[in-house]
């Protein structure tokens, strides 16, 4: 009889163990069948950091056009192109900021280099004062012809005009910070708004 009771206990323990395992499996199976969470994807910002395109020529190992971060210096462009062994880096202002569309010529040692001065800036200006340019009808070429305004500033003015409508005063170039103060002072006499 004791043997029967012992067998009954063992049988009952086995049944309870199987039931417990069955319940555990019943709970685990849905968890295992659940689809895995999708992997986390990092989304890059849609706005690429602003760059400037600079054409580096002269005494460099790899002349060409380089895209550099906005605010880069002449030293960064020279480093990107690799200064040649005979490059005269003392003839350059390595700390000068680069501008979009700039052509940077790295001279060779002993090469005569014309450094920009106030006289060469004036020489770049038209000999006779140009006719006044209407900011509301000016083309990029007309703006580029003004002293101190190059293709990048001309494009900035035209983009501003397209986004904000016609200019109401020449002073908007200064107030909207479309031109550096010195450039604005140099060209304001050649500009009008009609």
pLDDT of residue 76: 94
User: Do 93 and 153 have their domain in common?
Assistant: no
The pLDDT of residue 10 is above 90: no
Average pLDDT over every residue of 66-71: 89
pLDDT of residue 17: 61
Using alpha carbons, list the distances in angstroms from residue 47 to 44, 67, 90: 9, 16, 37
Domain count, the chain: 2
pLDDT of residue 126: 45
CA separation for the pair 158, 163 (Å, rounded): 9
What's the pTM value of the predicted model, to 2 decimals?
0.39
CA separation for the pair 174, 109 (Å, rounded): 41
CA separation for the pair 145, 126 (Å, rounded): 8
Which one has a higher pLDDT value, 111 or 85?
A: 85
Range of the domain at 173: 118-192
CA separation for the pair 28, 25 (Å, rounded): 5
User: Do 123 and 185 have their domain in common?
Assistant: yes
86-119 per-position pLDDT tens digit: 988 888 899 888 888 888 899 988 877 665 544 4
Assigned domain for 150 exists: yes
pLDDT of residue 142: 87
CATH number at residue 181: 1.10.150.320
142-194 per-position pLDDT tens digit: 888 888 888 988 999 999 999 999 999 999 989 889 888 888 898 888 899 98
State the pLDDT confidence band at 127, using cuts at 50, 70 and 90: very low
User: Do 160 and 95 have their domain in common?
Assistant: no
Average pLDDT over every residue of 63-85: 91
DSSP string, 6-65: HHHHHHHHHHHHHHHHHHHHHHHHHHHHSPPPPPP-PPPPSSPPPEEEEEEEESBSS-EE
The pLDDT of residue 122 is above 50: no
User: Do 99 and 73 have their domain in common?
Assistant: yes
Q: What is the residue-averaged pLDDT of the chain?
A: 78
Average pLDDT over every residue of 125-129: 46
CA separation for the pair 1, 23 (Å, rounded): 33
22-68 per-position pLDDT tens digit: 665 566 555 556 555 556 555 555 556 788 888 898 899 999 999 99
Assigned domain for 99 exists: yes
């Amino acid at each position: 009889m004791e043997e029967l009771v012992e067998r009954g206990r063992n049988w009952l323990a086995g049944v309870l163990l199987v039931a417990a395992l069955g319940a555990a499996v019943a709970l685990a199976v849905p968890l295992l069948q659940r689809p895995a969470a999708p992997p986390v994807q990092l989304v890059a910002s849609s706005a690429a950091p602003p760059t400037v395109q600079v054409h580096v020529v002269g005494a460099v190992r790899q002349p060409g056009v380089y895209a550099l971060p906005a605010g880069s210096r002449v030293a960064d462009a020279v480093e990107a192109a690799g200064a040649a062994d005979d490059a005269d880096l003392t003839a350059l202002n390595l700390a000068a900021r680069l501008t979009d569309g700039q052509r940077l010529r790295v001279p060779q040692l002993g090469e005569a280099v014309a450094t920009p001065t106030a006289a060469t800036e004036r020489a770049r200006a038209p000999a006779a004062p140009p006719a006044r340019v209407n900011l509301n009808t000016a083309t990029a070429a007309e703006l580029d012809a003004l002293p101190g305004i190059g293709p990048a500033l001309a494009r900035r003015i035209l983009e501003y005009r397209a986004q904000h409508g016609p200019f109401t005063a020449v002073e908007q170039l200064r107030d909207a910070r479309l031109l550096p103060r010195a450039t604005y002072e140099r060209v304001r006499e050649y500009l009008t708004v009609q």
